[in-house]
Chain A
Amino acid sequence: MSGEIVDARGKRCPLPIIELAQALKIINIGESLTLLSDDPATVADLTAWARMTRNEVEQEGDFEFLVTRLN
């Protein structure tokens, strides 16, 4: 498990998802990181992002998401 945190609070779409994708490249397949984002558009788009890139997202708090790299 990686304890890495991507803090994208205060940033507007598409920045949080771009930063998430960059951080995901650094961790290994099967590992997770935490994304913090308070942009409402990003929150809605995370599900679509996970479906399109075949990764996994779990909402842990209002602005906190656990993202697992699956490929």
Chain B
Amino acid sequence: MVPITARFQAESALHPAARALLLEIFDQGWAEPRKLHLESRRAAILLQEAKESIAADLDLSPTEVHFLGEITLGFQLGIMGLIQPETRMVHSSIDRAEVLAIASQFPSSVEMEVSNSGVVALPELRPSDLLIWQYVNAETGLIRTMPIELVEFSGRVFVDHTAYPTQAPAIASWSSALWDSSSWSGPNGLSIFALRTGAKGWRNPFPHLQQSVVPSGFSLPLALASAVALRHWRSDEEVNKTKITKLATRIRAFISENIPDTDMIEEQWNSWSAIVSLSFLYIDAERLQSDLADEGFTVDSGSACTSANLEASHVLKAMGLLSQGNIRLRLHHDVTATEIDVFLPVLKRLVEKQRQ
């Protein structure tokens, strides 16, 4: 086994504070919060505290916060719960696969195209439309700020915050929104689903007895650990934001000068610098990934040339970006300048070796 020099893959280890708490809470938070026993009441208090903490960090009201286990369920509840017979679902070509899967079930859905400069082509919206708005794209880091004309949109809006824990949606009339606990180094297998107070027309789209209630199958310890991780993530993000932006700029500058024929998102785009997507012409991404792993670096890839993906990333394809030879670096809070300085010459050498 090669020792890991630096991790640039999307997944990160649980925040140490969340991990410590998790071990403790599995002893305390096992009871069913809705029952009346002493342990249950204690569990109910812990759950309420976690809700309040998460609500404060995401700029929501505690009553708007719901915990869910499976993230796919969050997309289905959030989107399908807002669809009525006359609804037209408007989404973009770079939305997550879960969104595209739902759209494929509704023949009237409209797909917004996204150009390789990150511009979204907005159709003429009707008040009966359901708009799906992905705030940050996990594969390219593209940030899609709400166009000014949408701020006044009176239809329904589902906001996908799963790539990055942004605070409550910028659009005043959002209806439902989804966050992924792992995006703030919280536990996997937990998502935060929000229904805005006063939002119209959401109902549980799945078989149910009480139509207004969100299904609540989740692990209480995971929810509590997630709240702690989010609190830490927020302050870590404040501290490390500038460092990460500088390092991302350093990577781009190095690539522009040293590795020709590389397709990357241009810096002037509004993008989240913690995600750097690089596509090298004439390169087999799977080989590059494993060569990098041999040198102790872990990276992700959106290429079809890797065995993990039978098809190239639909995001890169939809934006007209090169998908072959694609690697994706995620700069986590603990990334160091030294790691980047060690990594870049290795990357250059491996790309050159393969291009010979």
A residues within 8 Å of B by Cβ?
12-14, 17-18, 21, 40-42, 44-45, 47-49, 51-53
- B311 near A13 with CB under 8 A, answer no
Segment at the interface with A among B21-29, B147-155, B220-228, B278-286: B278-286
- A41 near B305 with CB under 8 A, answer yes
Q: Using an 8 Å CB-CB cutoff, how does the interface string of B242-284 with A read, 1 for contact, 0 for none?
A: 0000000000000000000101000000000000000101111
- A48 near B325 with CB under 8 A, answer no
Q: A18 vs B355: C-alpha distance in the bound complex, in angstroms?
A: 9
Interface centre among B283, B303, B311, B317 (most CB of A within 10 A): B317
Given A40-B311, A44-B312, does the pair A17, B281 have CB atoms closer than 8 Å?
A: yes
Q: Which residues of A contact B322 (CB under 8 A)?
A: 45, 48-49, 52
Q: Which residues of B contact A49 (CB under 8 A)?
A: 281, 322
- A44 near B323 with CB under 8 A, answer yes
A51: nearest residue on chain B (CB-CB)? B320
Q: A51 vs B116: C-alpha distance in the bound complex, in angstroms?
A: 11
A29 CB to closest chain B CB (Å) equals: 18
Interface centre among A14, A48, A53 (most CB of B within 10 A): A14
Q: A48 vs B316: C-alpha distance in the bound complex, in angstroms?
A: 10
Given A41-B311, A44-B312, A51-B320, does the pair A13, B261 have CB atoms closer than 8 Å?
A: no
Q: A41 vs B261: C-alpha distance in the bound complex, in angstroms?
A: 18
- B321 near A48 with CB under 8 A, answer yes
Q: A13 vs B309: C-alpha distance in the bound complex, in angstroms?
A: 12
User: Which residue of the partner chain, among A45, A47, A53, contacts B324 with CB atoms under 8 Å?
Assistant: A45
B residues within 8 Å of A by Cβ?
116, 261, 263, 279, 281-284, 303-305, 311-312, 317, 320-325
- B311 near A14 with CB under 8 A, answer no
Q: Which residues of A contact B261 (CB under 8 A)?
A: 52-53
- B283 near A48 with CB under 8 A, answer no
- B304 near A48 with CB under 8 A, answer no
Q: Which residues of B contact A52 (CB under 8 A)?
A: 261, 263, 281, 322
Given A41-B311, A53-B261, does the pair A48, B282 have CB atoms closer than 8 Å?
A: no
B189 CB to closest chain A CB (Å) equals: 31
Q: Which residues of A contact B305 (CB under 8 A)?
A: 12-14, 41
B319: nearest residue on chain A (CB-CB)? A48
Interface centre among B263, B283, B305, B320 (most CB of A within 10 A): B305
Q: Which residues of B contact A14 (CB under 8 A)?
A: 281-284, 305, 324-325
Q: Which residues of A contact B263 (CB under 8 A)?
A: 48, 52
User: Which residue of the partner chain, among A21, A41, A51, A53, contacts B323 with CB atoms under 8 Å?
Assistant: A41
Q: Please, could you name 10 A-B residue pairs with CB atoms under 8 Å apart, sorted by A?
A: A13-B284, A14-B324, A40-B311, A41-B303, A41-B311, A44-B323, A45-B312, A48-B322, A52-B263, A53-B261
Q: A30 vs B321: C-alpha distance in the bound complex, in angstroms?
A: 25
Q: Which residues of B contact A17 (CB under 8 A)?
A: 281-282, 324
B314: nearest residue on chain A (CB-CB)? A44
- B304 near A40 with CB under 8 A, answer yes
A20: nearest residue on chain B (CB-CB)? B282
Q: A61 vs B269: C-alpha distance in the bound complex, in angstroms?
A: 35
Q: A45 vs B304: C-alpha distance in the bound complex, in angstroms?
A: 11
Given A40-B311, A41-B303, A41-B312, does the pair A18, B282 have CB atoms closer than 8 Å?
A: yes
B112 CB to closest chain A CB (Å) equals: 19
- A47 near B320 with CB under 8 A, answer yes
Q: Which residues of B contact A41 (CB under 8 A)?
A: 303-305, 311-312, 323-324
Q: Which residues of B contact A13 (CB under 8 A)?
A: 284, 303-305, 312, 323-324
Q: Which residues of A contact B323 (CB under 8 A)?
A: 13, 41, 44-45, 48
A59 CB to closest chain B CB (Å) equals: 14
